[in-house]
Amino acid sequence: MNQQPIGIFDSGVGGLSVWQTTVRLLPHESVIYLADTRNCPYGPQPVEAIIGHCQRNVEFLLSKNCKLIVVACNTATAAAIEVLRQTYEIPFVGMEPAVKPAAMFSKTGKIGVLATQGTLNGQLFKNTSEKYARHLEVFVQIGHGLVELVENGKTDSEEAIVMLRKYVEPMLRQQVDQIVLGCTHYPFLIGAIKKITGDSVSIVNPAEAVSRQTKRLLDQKNLLSTTNNQPYYQFYANGDARVMHKMVGQIITENSINANFEVFSTHI
Ligand code: DGL
């Protein structure tokens, strides 16, 4: 048993999609969230640069005494999780595009994957596709500009619909019946995506599976908080924190969360 907080980081607000499923599943855990908004987006950056950002993020969360860190960013996981695991002693949980469940549930044998350039070019995605989707047709699409839309709070805008149409309609024409969201920012666009797909397609978001893995790992390592722990939630951004503040407020209200939360600007 251990009352230290869990750390979660992303290039920006996208990882809040994983924060949400994690606090639902682990209501006694305190969580410190870091949005590296100063360096967002990670997607088009070279692997070495992303590794550097991740190491800085981890050092920050370790300075806050975190016991486990969730890399709530597919791009960062693809670029850096191996290095992080080799460098630091605490456990890490990473993201992986949910190709496996999409492949399992597809009836048309055709699935779409929407992700960043960094994720789609990464070895992790290649291995996962090879392992679980060799017998399927996989249509990949880089979501150019989508991370920036979410960072600017424009998830329900006309601009979002126009951009998403360009990415999603070609997949629909290919008759995909599953679209995997391979970036933690994209679950905030599910409403807009559904306006385009209707109910004909399942949208696959790996956030819950990642939270279940976090729980399993904490349990295995005897790091779960006790059930009488009064959890606290802290959110840090090293750029403009206004959109994060708004989104956190909305998520906390929607989930009727009573615990204390604070939003900070930081200079890392
Ligand atoms: N949320 C990140 C991911 O899951 C966004 C990457 C970016 O900053 O481009 O990939």
The DSSP bridge partners found for residue 242 are none
Q: What is the pLDDT of residue 101?
A: 97
Active site residue 54: no
Query: Does residue 259 have a pLDDT over 90?
Result: no
Q: How far apart are CA 78 and CA 123, in angstroms?
A: 7
CA neighbours within 13 Å on the CB side: how many for 220? 8
**Active-site entry in 40, 54, 66, 73:** 73
Distance 146 CA to ligand 1 centre (A): 10
Beta carbon of 74 within 6 Å of any ligand 1 atom: yes
Q: How far apart are CA 11 and CA 121, in angstroms?
A: 18
In eight-state DSSP terms, residue 14 is T
Q: How far apart are CA 194 and CA 91, in angstroms?
A: 36
Q: What is the pLDDT of residue 57?
A: 98
- Tell me which residue of 131, 129, 137 sits closest to 106, measured CA to CA: 137
Beta carbon of 184 within 6 Å of any ligand 1 atom: yes
Query: Does residue 145 have a pLDDT over 90?
Result: yes
**Residues 143, 145, 147, CA angle at the centre, nearest 5°?**
80
How does residue 80 score in pLDDT terms, banded at 50, 70 and 90? Answer: very high
- How large is the average pLDDT for residues 133-157? 97
How does residue 1 score in pLDDT terms, banded at 50, 70 and 90? Answer: confident
- Are the CB atoms for 49 and 242 separated by under 8 Å? no
- How large is the average pLDDT for residues 132-160? 97
Ligand 1 nearest atom to the CA of residue 40, by list position: 8
Beta carbon of 11 within 6 Å of any ligand 1 atom: yes
In eight-state DSSP terms, residue 264 is E
Ligand 1 nearest atom to the CA of residue 95, by list position: 4
Q: What is the pLDDT of residue 258?
A: 85
Q: What is the pLDDT of residue 41?
A: 98
Distance 186 CA to ligand 1 centre (A): 9
Active site residue 73: yes
- How large is the average pLDDT for residues 164-182? 98
Query: Does residue 260 have a pLDDT over 90?
Result: no
- Tell me which residue of 114, 119, 116 sits closest to 139, measured CA to CA: 114
- How large is the average pLDDT for residues 50-76? 98
One-letter amino acid of 228: N
Token duo for residue 145: 């500009």
**pLDDT mean across residues, the chain:** 96
Distance 229 CA to ligand 1 centre (A): 32
Q: What is the pLDDT of residue 229?
A: 86
Q: Are strands 178-182 and 31-35 parallel, antiparallel or unpaired?
A: unpaired
Q: How far apart are CA 120 and CA 131, in angstroms?
A: 15
Q: What is the 3-state secondary structure (H, E, C) of 104-149?
A: HHCCCCEEEEEECHHHHHCHHHHHHHHHHCCCCEEEEEECCCHHHH
Q: How far apart are CA 52 and CA 58, in angstroms?
A: 10
Token duo for residue 25: 């599943």
Beta carbon of 43 within 6 Å of any ligand 1 atom: yes
In eight-state DSSP terms, residue 222 is T
Angle between helices 47-63 and 74-87 (to 10 degrees): 60
Residues in the chain: 268
pLDDT single digits (tens) 21-37:
999 999 999 999 999 99
Token duo for residue 246: 């708004």
Query: Does residue 70 have a pLDDT over 90?
Result: yes
pLDDT single digits (tens) 97-144:
999 999 999 999 999 999 999 999 999 999 999 999 999 999 999 999
